[in-house]
Amino acid sequence: MDEKNDHDEAIKEGLEQGSNSKAIEIAKKMLKENKKISDISRLTGLDEKTIQSLK
């Protein structure tokens, strides 16, 4: 049973990382279009500090 839980957890982590990578990709595109950081944060779910670091 532990192997199944480990497997499920690994899948969950992979999906979260993929989702975060996509949010970062979108944020970078929005920054290039001079969108407000507050709007980018609201739409991607990334915090403003993270978005600032992408500049």
pLDDT tens profile 3-36: 778 878 878 777 778 788 999 999 999 999 999 9
Please tell me the predicted confidence (pLDDT) of residue 14.
Answer: 77
Residue 52 structure tokens: 């600032």
> What is the residue range of 20's domain?
2-53
Cα distances from 32 to residues 5, 10, 29, 38, in angstroms, run 41, 33, 5, 15
Please tell me the predicted confidence (pLDDT) of residue 1.
Answer: 53
Please tell me the predicted confidence (pLDDT) of residue 36.
Answer: 98
Please tell me the predicted confidence (pLDDT) of residue 31.
Answer: 98
Say if CB 54 and CB 24 are below 8 A apart. Answer: yes
Task: State residue 36 phi and psi, 5-degree precision.
Answer: -65, 140
Q: In 3D, which of 17, 25, 53, 21 has the Cα closest to residue 37?
A: 53
Number of domains within the chain? 1
51, pLDDT greater than 90: yes
